[in-house]
Amino acid sequence: MKICINGKYFMPIPSKKKSPRPFSQLIKDARKEAKQSLATAAMQIGTGKSYLWELEEGLSQPTLPLLEKILSHYNLNYYEIRFPSQNQDNQQGTKK
């Protein structure tokens, strides 16, 4: 895929970053890499320790303001998160 800007063509360069990971795994890995306890990380982010644990285990989803605080705290960006596809959500909701 080429991108044309002012008559000049550019080719996107693939990112050398790791492929996106589920949010829960991403923040758990980031916390461990920062060598922070759940209590310390939760206090610095501004949430409860038990809620941060739920986020790391994939049992809860953060609000947008909390998501922004977490990403900022660990110096991450939205592109590093793999979100579940809409089809997966719909299929899980219809299974009985």
Q: What is the mean pLDDT of residues 54-83?
A: 89
pLDDT for 80 = 80
C-alpha 53/C-alpha 88 separation (Å) is: 24
Domains of the chain listed by start with CATH number = 20-83 (1.10.260.40)
What pTM was computed for the model?
A: 0.67
pLDDT in tens, 13-58: 555 556 678 899 999 999 999 999 999 999 999 999 999 999 999 9
Q: What is the mean pLDDT of residues 59-83?
A: 88
C-alpha 50/C-alpha 42 separation (Å) is: 9
